[in-house]
């Protein structure tokens, strides 16, 4: 699969046959992969859906924009131990500085780092 930023993007292996099956059965080569009742899902339509569901979930107003999905994805990738350059590539950032926004240390990453350091023979710990 391709995106406009950096070419080929890997997919979870389980998704590949599902997408290939869809691509074989579609009749229009220009058909969108994601469609709604009124056709191709546009960026504006996705934002409207996101706003609708975040409103129904009663999320704070500052959390009601689609870009929050990217923030969440980047944070989860970093929490899972993926390096910042992977996050940069995955989000399609040309400049790694754009990815550092997500590199703030989360509680989960901090706990993992402390645990790793406690097990290290290179770190002197109090007796």
Ramachandran area for residue 109 (φ above 0: left; ψ -120 to 50: alpha; else beta): alpha
Mean pLDDT within 108-120: 81
HSE of 13, CA atoms in CB hemisphere, 13 A: 0
pLDDT of 55 > 70? The answer is: yes
Which pairing describes strands 39-40 and 35-36: parallel, antiparallel, or unpaired? antiparallel
Mean pLDDT within 88-103: 85
pTM score above 0.85: no
Question: Between 88 and 65, whose confidence is greater?
Answer: 88
**What residue spans define the domains of the chain?**
2-119
Using pLDDT thresholds of 50, 70 and 90, give the confidence band for residue 106: low
Using pLDDT thresholds of 50, 70 and 90, give the confidence band for residue 3: very low
């Amino acid at each position: 699969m391709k995106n406009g930023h950096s070419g080929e993007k890997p997919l979870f292996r389980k998704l590949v046959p599902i997408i290939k099956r869809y691509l074989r059965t579609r009749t229009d080569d220009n058909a969108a992969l994601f469609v709604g009742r009124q056709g191709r899902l546009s960026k504006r339509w996705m934002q409207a859906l996101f706003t609708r569901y975040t409103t129904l979930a009663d999320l704070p107003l500052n959390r009601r924009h689609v870009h929050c999905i990217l923030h969440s994805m980047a944070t989860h990738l970093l929490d899972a131990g993926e390096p910042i350059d992977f996050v940069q590539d995955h989000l399609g950032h040309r400049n790694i500085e754009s990815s550092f926004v997500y590199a703030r240390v989360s509680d989960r990453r901090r706990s993992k780092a402390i645990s790793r350091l406690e097990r290290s023979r290179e770190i002197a710990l109090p007796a």
